[in-house]
């Protein structure tokens, strides 16, 4: 894994080598093993290297024979050996064993279409000095990040793996994107292609961007094509297909010239990866697990079962479920506000694993592709009920019941009568937004600053989210939810968490379940192959069953969670008061409403942990990334900023 950055100059100006170095130095955590650069009259490309493949000759940028094509890559190309062989047969000459070099010569053959031939996780840039064009490419599912802008003063165009590299440019003075603030408070992340800043964007998954003298254009080269629902047939063939692709996907991700292992949570997805690795490895697989002193959040017993089942070289660490030492890391490495609290154990796990390996495989993606989330089951159940109720009844009686029925936020969703009744009064897209959001509608309006700017007038994250459902309303309910998650939650939350947590410690994370071939196979399958009754990942579990202990296959799904609710009644209360309830945050928030939410949570009547965490992450981002105040857990009982109490 690596970090890339670069820019195009305005006419009549020459690139600044010092500026490029400064941008790449902001990415040194992504690539501590080396720095490389290319500069000509128009373009500057830089690369920070984490050496994984071809340790001796794989430095970047890499060029073609006459130096007219230059490439920098963040990621891995898993089918590079096959591509290399085909290109050599066509007369191309290679001077390294690097996977990056195939991109140079493949571009010479197919131009902008090159990502269509590549299997991997990647974000890369190709500078064509003959055409004076810069091509940016992001992998199909968004595993690797790529930011860009045509609105940074002094440059015609710039890009980088992380926002922090763009902030090194002297002309980087963007306004905060207030709509992105609202999106974040609702969803706990800023969805692609927007960022927390105006006119700074993420290249969306499965897209290319071409920057030339005539401007910038983007093109979608891939998306998961979900099939219209058909009657289910015998699943045997699909089970065999999943198993064969899973074996190949894991095998390809075991290509490495440095030590590698697997994150092992004790759940089905990571246990299957460990089993598939063990089945194809001559050496003991290294497994890594984090446990907590609080048994409610600890899965070590199951991780040990999976490790023993595979004869693994197992490593584990038990930590107090706290945030003290990783809080500054969390704020520093997530350049945008990020509200998924499972980033905390992810950081602990990455830090521990990096002491032993440079590459770690993980189980990301199986839930999104094969229907593993409980919210999918509830979404399908609500849609069946919705379709059996007259519209007039849903829009009146059910809506009224949803308004006045006790909410019971602290109960499991199955017992939340208010949520069920409210969702039945909405269509699938609105109901799904209600299910996945923290702040919404009147609650969002109440917590946003009374002096919010005009661009927020009438803006609704719900409407934007529901619009995605509208575009795929011809699909089955499950397919709609999965498709929207692939555009939003997966690249905006899950993959950001894994990338930033691993890269914070110079560790490469690989996700076999996010092989695009598995995504395409899953999209063609009927819903009953994924969600069977109340059971999610139905045939996926059958496909991986030879590699997973029965005790894990049969266990109830458990998330990677931390005791947020308790923390906000104890250690995080002074942190919240110091960072959130201060006048710096009046630009974004109603401090009175933020205080009311905290007090209501303190009373124990309501659990507002996710809302409070989003507010805290927004405030911590504002303190560090905009004002240079490093948030610490210690010393915050006596606030250093003006506090409104």
* Contact status, residue 335 vs residue 353, Cβ threshold 8 Å: no
Task: Please tell me the predicted confidence (pLDDT) of residue 643.
Answer: 39
Q: What is the pLDDT of residues 119-173, one digit of tens each?
A: 999 999 999 999 999 999 999 999 999 999 999 999 999 999 999 999 999 999 9
Q: What is the pLDDT of residues 373-409, one digit of tens each?
A: 999 999 999 888 888 777 666 566 555 555 544 444 4
Residue 467 CA: distances (Å) to CA of 391, 476, 484: 21, 16, 10
Query: Which are the catalytic amino acids?
Result: 2
- Would you call 611 helix, strand, or coil by DSSP? helix
Any bridge partners for residue 290, and if so which? 317
Q: Give the right CATH number for 236-371+488-553 from 3.90.1150.10, 1.20.950.20, 3.40.50.620, 2.40.50.140.
A: 3.40.50.620
Domain map of the chain by residue range?
A: 2-220, 236-371+488-553, 564-626
Residue with tokens 């092992």: 264
Residue with tokens 């763009």: 166
Using the predicted structure, report yes or no on whether residue 642 has a pLDDT greater than 60.
no
- In the chain, the percentage of residues whose pLDDT exceeds 70 is 91
Q: What is the pLDDT of residues 558-603, one digit of tens each?
A: 666 788 899 899 889 999 999 999 999 999 999 999 999 999 999 9
pLDDT band at 419 (very low <50, low <70, confident <90, very high): low
Q: Alpha helices of 279-324 — where are they, by DSSP H?
A: 300-309
Q: What is the pLDDT of residues 316-330, one digit of tens each?
A: 998 876 687 888 999
Q: What is the pLDDT of residues 199-242, one digit of tens each?
A: 999 999 999 999 999 999 999 999 999 988 776 788 999 999 99
Q: What is the pLDDT of residues 72-88, one digit of tens each?
A: 999 999 999 999 999 99
Average pLDDT, whole number, for the chain?
Answer: 90
Report the distance separating Cα 574 and Cα 567, nearest Å. Answer: 10
Residue 250 CA: distances (Å) to CA of 78, 306, 362, 487, 537: 10, 17, 10, 24, 19
More confident residue, 327 or 108: 108
Report the distance separating Cα 24 and Cα 6, nearest Å. Answer: 9
* Contact status, residue 101 vs residue 94, Cβ threshold 8 Å: yes
pLDDT band at 540 (very low <50, low <70, confident <90, very high): very high
> Which DSSP string corresponds to 208-261?
EEEEETTEEEEEE-----PPPP-----THHHHHHHHHHHHHHHHHTT--SS-EE
pLDDT band at 452 (very low <50, low <70, confident <90, very high): confident
Architecture per CATH, 2-220: 4-Layer Sandwich (3.60)
């Amino acid at each position: 894994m690596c970090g890339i950055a670069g820019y195009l100059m305005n006419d009549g100006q020459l690139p600044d080598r010092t500026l490029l170095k400064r941008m790449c130095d902001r990415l040194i955590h992504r690539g501590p093993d080396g720095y490389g650069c290319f500069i000509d009259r128009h373009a500057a490309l830089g690369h920070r290297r984490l050496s994984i493949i071809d340790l001796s000759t794989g430095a970047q940028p890499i060029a073609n024979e006459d130096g007219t094509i230059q490439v920098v890559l963040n990621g891995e190309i898993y089918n590079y050996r096959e591509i290399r062989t085909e290109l050599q047969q066509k007369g191309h000459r290679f001077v390294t064993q690097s996977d990056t070099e195939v991109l140079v010569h493949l571009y010479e053959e197919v131009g902008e279409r090159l990502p269509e031939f590549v299997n991997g996780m990647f974000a890369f840039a190709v500078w064509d000095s003959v055409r004076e064009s810069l091509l940016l490419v992001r992998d199909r599912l968004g595993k690797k990040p790529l930011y860009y802008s045509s609105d940074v003063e002094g440059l015609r165009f710039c890009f980088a793996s992380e926002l922090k590299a763009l902030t090194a440019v002297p002309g980087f003075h963007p306004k905060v994107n207030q709509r992105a603030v609202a999106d974040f408070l609702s969803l706990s992340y800023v969805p692609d292609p927007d960022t927390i800043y105006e006119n700074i964007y993420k290249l969306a998954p499965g897209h290319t961007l071409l920057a030339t003298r005539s401007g910038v254009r983007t093109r979608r080269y891939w998306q998961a094509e979900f099939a219209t629902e058909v009657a289910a047939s015998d699943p045997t063939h699909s089970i065999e297909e999943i198993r064969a692709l899973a074996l190949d996907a894991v095998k390809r991700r075991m290509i490495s010239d440095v030590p590698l292992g697997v994150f092992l949570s004790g759940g089905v997805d990571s246990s299957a990866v460990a089993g598939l690795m063990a089945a194809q490895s001559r050496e003991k697989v290294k497994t890594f697990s984090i446990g907590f002193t609080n048994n409610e959040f600890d899965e070590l017993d199951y991780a040990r079962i999976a490790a023993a089942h595979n004869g693994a070289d197992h490593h584990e660490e038990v930590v107090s479920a706290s945030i003290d030492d990783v809080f500054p890391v969390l704020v520093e490495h997530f350049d945008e506000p990020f509200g998924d609290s499972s980033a905390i154990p992810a950081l602990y796990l990455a830090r521990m694993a990096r002491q032993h390996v440079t590459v770690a495989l993980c189980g990301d993606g199986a839930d999104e592709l094969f229907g593993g989330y409980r919210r999918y089951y509830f979404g399908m159940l609500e849609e069946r009920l919705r379709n059996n109720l007259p519209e007039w009844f849903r829009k009146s009686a059910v809506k009224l019941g949803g308004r006045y029925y006790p909410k019971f936020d602290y109960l499991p969703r199955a017992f939340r009568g208010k949520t069920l009744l409210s969702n039945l009064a909405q269509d699938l897209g609105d109901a799904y937004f209600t299910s996945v959001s923290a702040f919404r509608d009147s609650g969002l309006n109440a917590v946003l600053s009374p002096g919010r700017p005009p661009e927020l007038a009438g803006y609704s994250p719900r409407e934007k989210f529901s619009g995605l459902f509208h575009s795929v309303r011809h699909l089955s309910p499950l397919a709609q939810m999965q498709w929207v998650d692939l555009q939003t939650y997966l690249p905006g939350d899950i993959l950001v968490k894994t990338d930033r947590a691993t890269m914070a410690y110079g560790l490469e994370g690989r996700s076999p379940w996010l092989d695009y071939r598995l995504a395409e196979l899953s999209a063609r399958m009927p819903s009953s192959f994924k969600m069977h009754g109340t059971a999610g990942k139905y045939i996926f579990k059958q496909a991986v069953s030879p590699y997973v202990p029965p005790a894990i296959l049969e266990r109830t799904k458990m998330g990677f969670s931390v005791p947020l609710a308790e923390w906000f009644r104890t250690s995080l209360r002074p942190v919240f008061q110091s960072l959130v309830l201060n006048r710096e945050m009046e630009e974004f928030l109603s401090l009175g409403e933020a205080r009311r939410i905290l007090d209501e949570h303190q009373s124990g009547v309501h659990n507002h942990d996710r809302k409070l965490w989003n507010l805290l992450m927004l405030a911590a981002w504002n303190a560090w990334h905009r004002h240079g105040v490093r948030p610490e857990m210690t010393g915050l009982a006596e606030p250093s900023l003006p506090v409104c109490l």
